[in-house]
Chains A and B, each alone.
Chain A
Amino acid sequence: MTAPILALKNINKSFGPIDVLHDINLEVRPGEVLCLLGDNGAGKSTLIKILSGVHQPTTGTIELDGKEVTFPAPRVAQEAGISTVHQFGGTFPLMSIGRSFFVGVEPTKGWGPFKIYDRARANAIAVKAVQDMGITRITDGDRLVGGLSGGERQSLAIARAVHFGARVLILDEPTAALGVKQATHVLRIVNEAKRRGLAVIFITHQVMHAMAVGDHFAVLIRGAVAADFRKGEKTREEITDLMAGGASMASLEAEIEGYMATHDGHPPQAVQA
């Protein structure tokens, strides 16, 4: 197995008195898709916000290529090659497709203090990127983002992340707003990113989607990694149970609580299948 690009070591996160993440240990490797599963409020988005520089961990460390790093701002994470599509937003309704695509990293032409925004190049790149996502209806980069459908906007955000994601691509519930066809496209994009050697962190509620692309799965329950397994180690039913919070979920939670009671309040590090 290749060395991990990113490793989380004992990450804890609290917002004031609210503890959201407990002792998270996770690794992402190049050419691998990590599916992050868990109920709403489990802390998935908080975890990836730590990886993208939006939040700082309360304790614990992040290692990039085995070296300890901090991401004090989103830009720092981006410059490290980590590109994220957050769960909500990511596009700007009253901006043109080209300008929205390049927010913060505008291409320029000209020289010195007279560098100007290169609209033609931005539009061409943005349109090509969304078309590569299968949205061939978009041909004009001057169109306003707000005129696109929810799925098209989501695709635009993903296309942007794929375009700028040099090493790690993080997608937080990217398929939630999408139809079947566009969701399939997203899965294809994920596979393509993986084939190009990117590490992908993929958050979803749909087992089919997770099974289709995942190499490695981690289930978060109330901020702790409750299960960490590789492709083929659990059946679809077991994963569904884990995600849906059904009877098996309840017993798993009881298991964790039992574990925590007998292990000085520590949640289990990982459950081997």
Chain B
Amino acid sequence: MTSTTASRPVGAKPAQGSNLSLGSLLRRPEAGAFLGLLAVLIFFAAFGGLTFLKPAGMSSWLNVAANLGIIAIPVGLLMIAGELDISVGAMVPFGAMTVAVISGHYGMSIWLGIAVTMAFGVTVGLINGYMVIRTAVPSLIVTLGSLFAVQGIVLGLTVLITKSTSVALTVDGPAKVIFGDFLFGGQLQVMVIWWLVLTAAYVFFIHFSPKGNWIFAMGGDKVSARNAGIPTDRMTIVLFVLSSTSAAFVGMCQAILYNSAQVAGGQSFIFNSIISVVVGGVLLTGGFGSVVGIFFGTITFAIVNQGIYYTDFDRNWSALIIGVLLLLAVLMNNTFRKMALSATTKKKGA
């Protein structure tokens, strides 16, 4: 090193030039999620071989990722906007049970069942969103309330109507193909297609359309966002409607796929979606994150969740891996975010 200008910054941070592109990649919200995914892939390839990357193995974790991912993205968007929605845990069985009772128990048209299920999803989202903007109660508490309320409604009404906690549903024709079938007669659920299409739509909406900016502004500083003319109340309601409707949609598709609905189950979606979102690089306190990050986070979670079957480890260990992964991902994301904040401007000239 003969140049004094070049040698000075080396100690403080990586030199510019060739490192710049790597540096700016690492500063993206999804960087941690991507590295986490790589680590998990390497881990399971080392301990379980490549079976989980062959078609049969892949469909097992892709199915998990698809069902979770459709819920995790709107949950993550709420988190970016500074809110939480844990009522998704009740909306999944609610969606499943609604379509099963209408189209299974009462034997009405499947399309009516689908329409009513979606309408219920929208309604619960409206109630959640409205309560959050009208009261000063944190959304964690509001949706904790609606989580239990909806669970109570599902259990109470189902037993009242059907005298059972499990309702059968048989669907065929286009509704089955569109919402609850396996692709090409294999093991891959049609849900995977929904997940990919929805993810692409969210990527466009959040990162390319001008309104995506509003969600980040809301999570960064809600008062300033409102002062800048953003309809923060309306956006909050829209996001809550998205998350509860997405959860009801997933429940509905599962009922159509498995030809039955149970009142229980769905609770796991609460923690699993939050894990996917946080591993995906979304800041728990809002204002930072990306859809692609959530996408990677979801896949990472699904691979850990399913990959354990392809190793010699007992399945019970997967929770440990997920816990460690979560902590590591958060630490890594914090580091990358600090890097992003301290990234200085290119010096002009020499």
Chain A residues packing against B (C-beta within 8 Å) = 52, 54, 73-75, 78, 84, 86, 88-95, 99-100, 102-108, 115-117, 137-140, 142-144, 146-147
Hey, which chain B residues are within 8 Å of A137, CB to CB? 345
Q: Name B222-243 residues within 8 Å CB distance of A.
A: 223-231
Give the contact stretch, choosing among B160-168, B173-181, B210-218: B210-218
Chain B residues packing against A (C-beta within 8 Å) = 24, 204, 208-214, 216-217, 220-221, 223-231, 283, 287-288, 337, 340-346, 348
Complex: A117 Cα to B212 Cα, angstroms: 9
Closest A-chain residue to B222, C-beta based? A89
Hey, which chain A residues are within 8 Å of B216, CB to CB? 92, 94-95, 99
Closest B-chain residue to A85, C-beta based? B227
Complex: A38 Cα to B275 Cα, angstroms: 50
Complex: A104 Cα to B211 Cα, angstroms: 8
Residue contact A104 to B343, C-beta cutoff 8 Å: no
Asked whether A117 and B210 contact (CB < 8 A) given A74-B227, A104-B230, the answer is yes
Complex: A78 Cα to B346 Cα, angstroms: 34
Residue contact B209 to A115, C-beta cutoff 8 Å: yes
Residue contact A94 to B288, C-beta cutoff 8 Å: yes
Asked whether A74 and B229 contact (CB < 8 A) given A94-B216, A144-B340, A147-B342, the answer is yes
Closest A-chain residue to B27, C-beta based? A144
Hey, which chain B residues are within 8 Å of A54, CB to CB? 226-227
Residue contact B343 to A73, C-beta cutoff 8 Å: no
Residue contact B345 to A106, C-beta cutoff 8 Å: no
Residue contact A89 to B223, C-beta cutoff 8 Å: yes
Asked whether A90 and B227 contact (CB < 8 A) given A95-B287, A137-B345, the answer is yes
From B210, B211, B220, contact of A94 by CB (8 A): B220
Complex: A54 Cα to B227 Cα, angstroms: 7
Q: Looking at A90, A95, A103, A140, which has the most chain B CB atoms within 10 Å of its CB?
A: A103
Residue contact A139 to B227, C-beta cutoff 8 Å: no
Complex: A81 Cα to B140 Cα, angstroms: 39
Closest B-chain residue to A136, C-beta based? B348
Closest A-chain residue to B229, C-beta based? A75
From A86, A143, A144, contact of B224 by CB (8 A): A86
Residue contact B210 to A115, C-beta cutoff 8 Å: yes
Residue contact A90 to B224, C-beta cutoff 8 Å: yes
Asked whether A139 and B217 contact (CB < 8 A) given A115-B210, A117-B212, the answer is no
Residue contact B223 to A139, C-beta cutoff 8 Å: no
A-B CB contact pairs (8 Å), 7 listed: A78-B229, A92-B216, A103-B217, A115-B210, A139-B346, A142-B24, A144-B341
Q: What distance in Å separates the Cβ of A141 from its nearest Cβ neighbour in chain B?
A: 10
Q: What distance in Å separates the Cβ of B290 from its nearest Cβ neighbour in chain A?
A: 12
Hey, which chain A residues are within 8 Å of B341, CB to CB? 93-94, 144, 146-147
Complex: A100 Cα to B216 Cα, angstroms: 9
Given contacts A94-B216, A117-B208, 5 further A-B contacts (CB under 8 A): A92-B216, A95-B213, A103-B217, A140-B346, A147-B342
Closest B-chain residue to A93, C-beta based? B220
Closest 10 interchain pairs by CB? A106-B210, A92-B220, A75-B229, A89-B224, A94-B288, A116-B208, A104-B228, A104-B229, A94-B287, A103-B217
Hey, which chain B residues are within 8 Å of A89, CB to CB? 221, 223-224, 227
Hey, which chain B residues are within 8 Å of A90, CB to CB? 224, 227-228
From A93, A94, A103, contact of B230 by CB (8 A): A103
Residue contact A147 to B343, C-beta cutoff 8 Å: yes
Closest B-chain residue to A77, C-beta based? B229
Closest B-chain residue to A147, C-beta based? B341
Hey, which chain B residues are within 8 Å of A100, CB to CB? 217
Q: What distance in Å separates the Cβ of B242 from its nearest Cβ neighbour in chain A?
A: 18
Hey, which chain B residues are within 8 Å of A88, CB to CB? 223
Hey, which chain B residues are within 8 Å of A117, CB to CB? 208-210, 212-213
Complex: A117 Cα to B340 Cα, angstroms: 21
Asked whether A139 and B345 contact (CB < 8 A) given A90-B224, A92-B217, the answer is yes
Complex: A263 Cα to B19 Cα, angstroms: 73
Q: What distance in Å separates the Cβ of A172 from its nearest Cβ neighbour in chain B?
A: 11
Residue contact A140 to B345, C-beta cutoff 8 Å: yes
Hey, which chain A residues are within 8 Å of B212, CB to CB? 117
Hey, which chain A residues are within 8 Å of B287, CB to CB? 92-95
Hey, which chain A residues are within 8 Å of B224, CB to CB? 86, 89-92, 103
Closest A-chain residue to B210, C-beta based? A106
Complex: A103 Cα to B208 Cα, angstroms: 14
Hey, which chain B residues are within 8 Å of A105, CB to CB? 229
Complex: A73 Cα to B287 Cα, angstroms: 23
Complex: A137 Cα to B345 Cα, angstroms: 7
Q: What distance in Å separates the Cβ of B14 from its nearest Cβ neighbour in chain A?
A: 16
Q: What distance in Å separates the Cβ of A45 from its nearest Cβ neighbour in chain B?
A: 12
Hey, which chain B residues are within 8 Å of A108, CB to CB? 210
Hey, which chain B residues are within 8 Å of A115, CB to CB? 209-210
Hey, which chain B residues are within 8 Å of A99, CB to CB? 213, 216
Closest B-chain residue to A160, C-beta based? B228
Q: What distance in Å separates the Cβ of A262 from its nearest Cβ neighbour in chain B?
A: 41
Q: Looking at B208, B220, B223, B228, which has the most chain A CB atoms within 10 Å of its CB?
A: B228
Complex: A94 Cα to B227 Cα, angstroms: 18
Residue contact A104 to B345, C-beta cutoff 8 Å: no
Closest A-chain residue to B283, C-beta based? A94
Hey, which chain A residues are within 8 Å of B211, CB to CB? 106
